[in-house]
A and B are shown apart, each in its own frame.
Chain A
Amino acid sequence: MPRQRVVNPEEKFPTVPGTVFLFRSCTGSLEYPGTENAVKETLASLGIHALMDPDQTCCSGYLLTCSAHKPEVSLAITARNLSLVEKKDLDTYTFCNGCYGYLSELSHIMMHNPAYLQMANDLIARWGYRYEGKTRIYHVQEMWYRLRETIGQKVVRPLAGLKVGVHYGCHYLAKQYGILDDGGYPTFHEEIVEILGGTPVFYKERQLCCGYSVGRGFTHREETVQPHLFKKLTSARDAGVELITTVCPGCNVALDREQPNLGKRFGTVFKIPVIDLSQLIALAMGMPLQKLGFEANTIPLTGVLKKLGL
């Protein structure tokens, strides 16, 4: 029989946790602090307390290719970070596809290769850390989908039919099994947009990777990343998208900060604001604008906010 890839959210989360460990994202906190705020506030209004640890380092992966350089370091860092969470006996929730992909992949490697797990634990043992593989890795987008009904009930600023084009990004759907929607044609973000009162737009290059990857946005910007983004943003613009949502601060940087560069290079103007899905949810649920941190966005949100009467 064909293997079932997609899991029902109620099956994956039979009970909603009261407290979770929120894994900090470097790009998230430094480039778009509003995203982190939005995640924390939304979790709080859903009755979930988000615990963070100032001692948690960057996942160090910036997605999956950093490990090439010093794999032992990446494994040890992951083990250290996750053991911090295990000390608190919680599950790990990230709000960045990159952190999610990285933590999932490396924890999987350690759980299936006792030698690697041993090496990582040896390195971190001297400070009393020990990684056992007990904490499970999730992304907050899963919790948003799981609690979408509750979110719907708490919407105070419906999105007035705003045309939203979602960007799923890569590492969550690529996991294939045990995820909430199929990578072939995902729709769960669009469902959330509809619940918030927006109009989802299925633009042609909806599922295209943003191209930024582990710093490819720095190293290959002109060669591959900009034409890539150009393809994606053109498709979004031609479909009439007014706002793009992401679930990864890395993707957010790519799609948001590159628009003026694309304008200069290709001579076309894109003015589509890009925010995190959590920020959109928080906005609809009434979070004060100052806390949402839209000043950090390169492409201003003024048009969208005006449309929503804010």
Chain B
Amino acid sequence: MPENTKTALVIGGGPAGMEAALRIAQAGFHAVLVEKEPELGGTLRDLHSSFPRWENPRELIDHRIGLLTKSRRVTIRTQTAVMSSVRQAKGFRVSLKSLGNGGREGYEDELDVDAVVLATGFELMDASVYGEYGHGIYPGVMTSLEFEGQLKTWAQRAGDIAVDAPHGVALIKCVGSRDRSKGYPYCSKICCMYTAKQAGLVKDLFPDTRVYVFYMDYRASGKEYEEFVRQVIEEKHVRYIRGRPAKVLPEDGRLLVRAEDTLMGIPVEVAVDMVVLASAIVPRPGTLLLAEMFGARTDEYGFIENEPFEPARSSERVFYAGGCGFAIETAGALNQGAAAAAGVTALFNEER
């Protein structure tokens, strides 16, 4: 394939962005992968394990970084942000800024690119809005991403960690999702799966700890997903209670969760040491700024929207993939990254 200098700007170095950059390079074009953190990997870096196969996300990140760094057609720019963009005849002139890179902080440079892939991922909603759950008030209450960090800490600690074991952990799903009153009406798609994962991990670390998952539904629609949740319930003995908790109260130094067991129709309470809130998935504020910069369309929540009949494209020469479009799991982000790359390469091939 003859060398072609058409270049795509991929914004965001998580699984979606890494995949897009890789596939664009493999197709013979150039990709500039911009990431504001010092390392590639996105939200995957914060995760201790993945569903449905209990794999280590670090292995996937390292594998992809290996391929990206070897590629002669990918330029990786970590600790870099996109400051502005001017649309040109067949592309954009973007201005990039270094965010602190050993002497290069504040350094700005300009780049001409022929297409853009937005892959800026998602974040979790601020759970302190739910005063009844006490996030930010009681130290034992945290969001699922914060809890993932706690799981990592426990797993990496050498020696006898049984001393750290909480006697009870309650995981509450749908905090901010499926909530027209204080949160967002939509379902954040992946929380049922990652909550099952986190619950299962606690039991693996501390078999004697009681783990409760408070759910309204459990949504396991994917390959091996249902089997995964059943394994957590049947083999790891996590107790699932159907009912959205009304309140978390402090009691004797522990946390009391009050809910209704809706299957029995009786009010129930349980005392635990930690409460994990599966907070709603929302787009990052930076995504909206980038959308405006590049003329991409967004929905009322700030997620990127596609053009009709073009699932990976948001506007002329602007593609997107992964969590910035909506809540998504790793496999989905990888697939969408590849789809965005396909859109880019189709465009580039057309204009050869």
Contacts and interface: CB of A to CB of B under 8 A. Distances in A.
Interface in B180-203: 181-184
A2 B183 contact: yes
Contact of A1 (B133, B250, B300): B300
B107 interface: no
Given A184-B131, A185-B132, A185-B137, A3 B182 contact: yes
B138 to A, nearest CB: 10
B300 A183 contact: no
B301 A204 contact: no
Residue in A182, A183, A184, A207 with the greatest tally of chain B CB atoms within 10 Å: A184
Contacts of B301: 1
Contact of B131 (A1, A2, A176, A185): A185
Nearest to A239: B250
Nearest to B135: A185
Interface string A169-202: 0000000100000111110000000000000001
B132 A184 contact: yes
B33 to A, nearest CB: 31
Contact of B129 (A2, A176, A202, A207): A2
Contact of B250 (A3, A5, A204, A207): A204
B59 interface: no
Residue in B131, B251, B256 with the greatest tally of chain A CB atoms within 10 Å: B131
A186 B182 contact: no
B280 to A, nearest CB: 9
Interface string B288-328: 00000000000011000000000000000000000000000
B134 interface: yes
B181 A182 contact: no
B297 to A, nearest CB: 17
Contacts of A184: 129-133
A202 B184 CA distance: 30
B27 interface: no
Nearest to B182: A2
A147 to B, nearest CB: 24
B131 A186 contact: yes
Interface string A280-299: 00000000000000000000
B249 interface: yes
B183 to A, nearest CB: 5
A198 B247 CA distance: 27
A183 B181 CA distance: 13
Given A1-B300, A3-B182, A5-B182, A183 B131 contact: yes
Contacts of A5: 182
Residue in A1, A3, A185, A205 with the greatest tally of chain B CB atoms within 10 Å: A185
Contacts of A205: 249
Contacts of A176: 181
A180 to B, nearest CB: 13
Contact of A204 (B129, B132, B249): B249
Given A204-B249, A204-B250, A2 B184 contact: yes
A235 to B, nearest CB: 9
Contacts of B249: 204-205
A70 B297 CA distance: 55
A183 B130 CA distance: 9
Contacts of B300: 1
Interface in B131-152: 131-134, 137
Nearest to B128: A185
Contacts of B179: 2
Contacts of B134: 185
A172 to B, nearest CB: 15
A260 B301 CA distance: 55
A2 B181 CA distance: 7
Nearest to A2: B183
A179 B301 CA distance: 25
B283 to A, nearest CB: 11
A1 B179 CA distance: 11
Residue in A182, A183, A202 with the greatest tally of chain B CB atoms within 10 Å: A182
Interface in A244-291: none
B249 to A, nearest CB: 5
A183 B133 CA distance: 11
A1 B133 CA distance: 20
A204 B182 CA distance: 24
A186 B181 CA distance: 17
Contacts of A3: 181-182
Interface in B51-90: none
Given A1-B301, A5-B182, A182 B251 contact: no
Contacts of A1: 300-301
Interface string B8-52: 000000000000000000000000000000000000000000000
Residue in A176, A186, A204 with the greatest tally of chain B CB atoms within 10 Å: A204
B10 to A, nearest CB: 28
Contacts of B250: 202, 204
Residue in A1, A183, A202, A205 with the greatest tally of chain B CB atoms within 10 Å: A1
Contact of A182 (B131, B176, B184, B247): B131
Interface string A204-226: 11010000000000000000000
Contacts of B129: 2, 182, 184
B227 to A, nearest CB: 35
Nearest to B134: A185
Nearest to B183: A2
A179 to B, nearest CB: 13
B326 to A, nearest CB: 16
8 contacts: A1-B301, A2-B176, A176-B181, A182-B131, A183-B131, A184-B131, A184-B132, A205-B249
Please name the 8 residue pairs, one residue from A and one from B, whose CB atoms are nearest each other, closest first: A185-B131, A184-B131, A184-B132, A182-B131, A2-B183, A204-B249, A184-B130, A204-B251
